[in-house]
């Protein structure tokens, strides 16, 4: 019968200004019956404890406790697993290339809780590549003091991101500076995915992929979440999901693209499920209006495929002339001759396939004016985000962070600036959209 070493990791700090360290208390050895009982209790629906397996030691596991402590069980005789000090030396693909190592944004978010010794990573391997966020979920409960016990677990197994976030309590922690790498991703062969880009801000969010944490989440009530997004923007992370929306299921993630080209060349927000060399499907179908960014069409292969052409063909019928075909399709004879390399425009054969010029894309669709009553405190809509982005583009943004989907005073102040830019004054520049100013803003359809 297997026996297990048992210990408790207790997160504590000597004072509010010092990083939280893990104090381990060894309790001795227990037998398999005790371990089976621990697992059974944690499996109960109303149990305040939750089991997470150790990713590197067979049979080892940890029990998250609602009080913030972590119970650790390791089979007697198991091979040691140790996280060594980070390699400070970045890799480069070109011998002797002096890549820029500077960062434009903050290393730490103000007011954040610091866990551990803050030395989880090293310099980025490819800082010339664009900056990005990578979003994970802990596959655990949220709220209570699980924030501390999850932090203890991530340190214990050597899988720390830079950032840990609890969407229930709005608690925000860091295991290391945003300007260095985390440890939460697997390598893609010899390519160290943790060290991809100018920054790769990895965020472990307390929650489960199967129940996206953004459901019912209101950023207006979460100042730490807004500070997290603002820190990423300060590093130049754009509001876009280059690989498309995060997969909603494990099977969708398995079938989806983990394009190396997209990952290495496009900045923005990524799901753990979209990173090459990784097979997890977290964070699930989180709302990309809350974790802001317009998704692009996901690619279907290991590398991007060209967008489908809008060009069409026409099959020549009896009695057709090139002039009549050109008129019917809004083009000219000269264009058809050039496009099809025709030697004699009058020599057409029935059944012949003619290429037609690509159609011009339809003009962008804009959001119709939703009415002045739409804009009030408590309103949560992607229309508000789209409006805010247009205001920023017009030089009228008055945001300290965002814009986001919640109608706030910052939105009203920004819109008032837009109204004044259009020449309105007095009550006509009160920050509440009217139809004339709204139509002039041309808010993209969402």
pLDDT at 308 over 60: no
Q: How confident is the model at residue 328 (pLDDT cuts 50, 70, 90)?
A: confident
| CATH architecture of residue range(s) 312-356 | Roll (3.10)
Q: What is the pLDDT of residues 5-40, one digit of tens each?
A: 999 999 999 887 889 999 999 999 999 999 999 999
- Give yes or no for a contact between 171 and 206, defined as CB atoms under 8 angstroms apart: no
Q: What is the pLDDT of residues 234-253, one digit of tens each?
A: 999 999 999 999 999 999 99
Q: Tell me, what's the pLDDT at 297? A: 42
pLDDT at 433 over 70: yes
Q: What is the pLDDT of residues 103-138, one digit of tens each?
A: 568 999 999 999 999 999 889 999 989 999 999 999
- Give yes or no for a contact between 415 and 433, defined as CB atoms under 8 angstroms apart: yes
* DSSP label at residue 85: P
Domain ranges of the chain: 3-75, 113-295, 312-356, 372-441
- Give yes or no for a contact between 354 and 313, defined as CB atoms under 8 angstroms apart: yes
In order of 43, 46, 166, the CA distances from 141 in angstroms are 13, 11, 10
Q: What is the pLDDT of residues 266-289, one digit of tens each?
A: 999 999 999 999 999 999 999 998
Spell 90-114 as b/e; 16+ CB within 10 A means b. beeeeeeeebeeebebbeebeebbb
In sequence order, which ranges of 202-307 are alpha helices (DSSP H)?
223-234, 250-255, 260-265
Q: What is the CA radius of gyration of the chain?
A: 28
pTM of the model: 0.65
What mean pLDDT do residues 53-78 have?
95
Please give the Cα distance from 202 to 132 (Å, whole number). 9
- Give yes or no for a contact between 154 and 175, defined as CB atoms under 8 angstroms apart: yes
Q: Tell me, what's the pLDDT at 280? A: 95
pLDDT at 329 over 70: yes
Tokens of 292: 């802001």
Q: Which residue would you say has higher pLDDT here, 89 or 360?
A: 360
Q: Tell me, what's the pLDDT at 295? A: 57
The CATH fold of domain 113-295: Lysozyme-like (3.40.80)
> DSSP letters of 119-147?
-S----SBTTSPPEEEEEE-SS--STTHH
What are φ and ψ of residue 163, in 5° steps?
Answer: -130, 140
For residue 166, give the nearest of 140, 188, 190 by alpha carbon: 140
pLDDT at 362 over 80: no
Q: How many CB atoms within 10 Å of residue 29?
A: 11
């Amino acid at each position: 019968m297997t026996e297990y070493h048992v210990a408790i990791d207790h997160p504590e700090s000597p004072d509010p200004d010092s990083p939280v360290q893990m104090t381990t208390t060894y309790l001795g050895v227990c037998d398999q019956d005790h371990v089976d009982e621990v697992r059974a209790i944690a499996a109960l629906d109303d149990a305040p404890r939750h089991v997470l397996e150790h990713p590197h030691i067979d049979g080892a596991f940890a029990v998250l406790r609602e009080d913030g402590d972590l119970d650790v069980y390791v089979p007697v005789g198991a091979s040691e697993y140790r996280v060594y000090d980070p390699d400070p030396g970045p890799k480069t693909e070109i011998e002797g290339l002096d890549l820029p190592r500077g960062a434009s944004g903050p290393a730490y978010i103000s007011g954040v809780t610091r866990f551990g010794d803050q030395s989880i990573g090293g310099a980025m391997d490819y800082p010339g590549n664009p900056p990005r966020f990578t979003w994970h979920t802990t596959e655990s409960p949220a709220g209570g003091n699980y924030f501390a016990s999850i932090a203890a677990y991530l340190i214990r197994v050597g899988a720390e991101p830079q950032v840990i976030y609890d969407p229930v309590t709005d608690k925000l922690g860091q295991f290391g500076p945003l300007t260095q790498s985390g440890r939460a991703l697997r390598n893609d062969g010899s390519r160290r995915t943790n060290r991809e880009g100018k920054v790769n801000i990895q965020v472990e969010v307390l929650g489960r992929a199967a129940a996206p944490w953004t459901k019912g989440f209101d950023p207006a009530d979460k100042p730490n979440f807004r500070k997290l997004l603002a820190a990423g923007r300060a590093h130049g992370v754009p509001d876009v999901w280059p690989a498309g929306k995060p997969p909603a299921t494990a099977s969708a993630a398995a079938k989806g693209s983990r394009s190396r080209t997209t990952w290495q060349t496009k900045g923005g927000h990524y799901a753990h499920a979209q990173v090459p060399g990784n097979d997890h499907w977290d964070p699930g179908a989180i709302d990309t209006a809350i974790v802001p960014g317009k998704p692009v069409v996901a690619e279907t292969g290991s590398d991007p495929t060209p967008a489908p052409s809008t060009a069409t063909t026409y099959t020549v019928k009896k009695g057709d002339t090139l002039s009549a075909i050109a008129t019917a399709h809004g083009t000219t004879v000269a264009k058809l001759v050039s496009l099809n390399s025709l030697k004699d425009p009058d020599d057409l054969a029935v059944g012949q396939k003619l290429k037609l010029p690509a159609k011009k894309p339809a003009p962008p669709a804009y959001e119709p004016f939703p009415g002045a009553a739409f804009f009030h405190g408590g309103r949560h809509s992607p229309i508000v985000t789209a409006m805010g982005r247009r205001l920023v583009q017009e030089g009228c943004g008055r945001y300290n962070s965002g814009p986001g989907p919640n109608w706030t005073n910052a939105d009203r102040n920004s819109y008032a600036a837009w109204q004044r830019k259009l020449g309105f004054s007095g009550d006509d520049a009160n920050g509440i959209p009217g139809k004339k100013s709204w139509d002039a803003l041309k808010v993209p359809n969402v």
